[in-house]
Copies of this chain bind each other. A is one copy, B any other.
Amino acid sequence: MFEGLYTPRLLLDADRLERNAARMRARCHDLGVTLRPHLKTAKSADVARVAADGAQGPITVSTLAEAEYFAAAGWPDILYSTAIAPAKLGRAAQIQRDHGARILFVIDDRDTAVAIGAEAAALGARFGLLIEVDCGEHRSGVEPASDALLAIADAIRAASPRLELMGVMTHAGHSYAFDDPAPIRALAETERLAAVASAELLRSHDHKCPIVSVGSTPTALFAEHLAGVSEVRAGIYLFHDLAQLSRGICSEDDLAISVLATVIGHQRGGPSLILDAGALALSKDVGANRFMPDAGYGRVCDAATLEPLGELAVTTVHQEHGNVPVPDASWFARLPIGSLVRILPNHACLTCAAYPSYDVLRAGTIVDQWPRTGGW
């Protein structure tokens, strides 16, 4: 059904995407929180529309390039979830001005609050800020409900009337370290408490804190409840991938992204198939292998049905070559040179980043092409 298509190319199953999106919307509705989808994975206005069922609600991004792209496309409420460097605020202010969007910026440092205040005055701009707290991943953020948190809030208030503290955010990125719902559920509660306790401390010191933002796909799906939380950020749930499947976060039928590739060689000595999808087409992420040691750089599936082809996986990648060991030479007749296969990627965020667009599938047929943004 994909004969004659140039490969490698990125396929997005819109039926699965819609199901994944609807499930998370229902989940957040049940939890009583706003869903602020993280679009660093999708980088696509078309996908963002599916995520919010046609609305242009609150979203999350990871780069100012994404903020600019979504603001230009009409999204009015954008959380830029990577800590802002003050030197980037000129461009950020321009995006807000040009497109009438509001970007929420994340900080975790007192001096940076002062610097942002100075930039706001110099630029004649207003910036809404969230303070990041560290719920245990130890990537960024201050201790929850700490003096450091309060000091940042006070610094924001003192720095400039152009700054507005909008709340707190945290991210349980360490929820990806498990393949068992019990510890993920416990982490979801840790994540919730970190945010809620921080919000309460701020409010008790006369700071406003309308936004209490948490999120990761695993904790969003497994949290017992999210009392006190206002919104959830999650992104990979839209597509899922082998990394999510390996952790029990999704089922095979949820995997919405695949790479269409061509068999370009038979290595009889191996024996192995050589595909035209290598390190650039798949990325070198191997995160799924922690809990799925046979995932390699991606599982190899039938191009038409997406059924796994035995245990075949891309086990070695060069820049443009993917090597797929096969149990015996009978696979060469089954998959002659020129055959198409589909590869389920290890980590969709990184795989998708190599492509300028999605070929969009409905009932297994390409019906549309959706552009993606990229870069910084």
Please list the residues of chain A having a beta carbon within 8 angstroms of any beta carbon in chain B. 3-4, 6-9, 40, 62-64, 82-88, 91, 108-109, 111-112, 115, 134, 138-140, 173, 262-267, 269-270, 274, 276, 279-281, 283-286, 316, 318-321, 323, 336-338, 349-350, 353-356, 375-376
Contact = CB atoms under 8 A, between A and B. Distances in A.
Contact of A264 (B3, B82, B276, B319): B82
Contacts of A270: 138
A3 B318 CA distance: 36
B318 A376 contact: no
Contact of A269 (B91, B134, B337): B134
Contacts of A376: 6-9, 281
A279 B134 CA distance: 21
A356 B337 contact: no
Contacts of A115: 337-338
A320 B356 CA distance: 19
A301 to B, nearest CB: 18
13 contacts: A7-B376, A9-B376, A62-B319, A86-B337, A87-B338, A109-B265, A109-B337, A115-B337, A134-B267, A139-B267, A139-B274, A139-B321, A279-B285
B350 A87 contact: no
A302 to B, nearest CB: 18
Nearest to A375: B356
A236 to B, nearest CB: 10
A319 B40 contact: yes
A284 B281 contact: no
A86, A108, A281 interface centre (most CB from chain B within 10 Å) = A108
Nearest to A261: B85
Contacts of A350: 279-280, 284, 319
Given A63-B320, A85-B338, A265 B140 contact: yes
A349 B354 CA distance: 13
A337 B91 contact: no
Contacts of A3: 87
Contacts of A355: 375
B139 A318 contact: yes
A180 to B, nearest CB: 22
A112 B286 CA distance: 32
Contact of A139 (B280, B323, B337): B323
Contacts of A316: 139
A3 B88 CA distance: 11
A7 B376 CA distance: 7
A191 B83 CA distance: 50
Contacts of A82: 264, 276, 320-321
A86 to B, nearest CB: 6
Contacts of A7: 85, 376
Contacts of A280: 350, 353
Given A82-B321, A173-B318, A319-B349, 7 more contacts: A7-B376, A63-B320, A85-B263, A86-B338, A139-B267, A140-B321, A281-B376
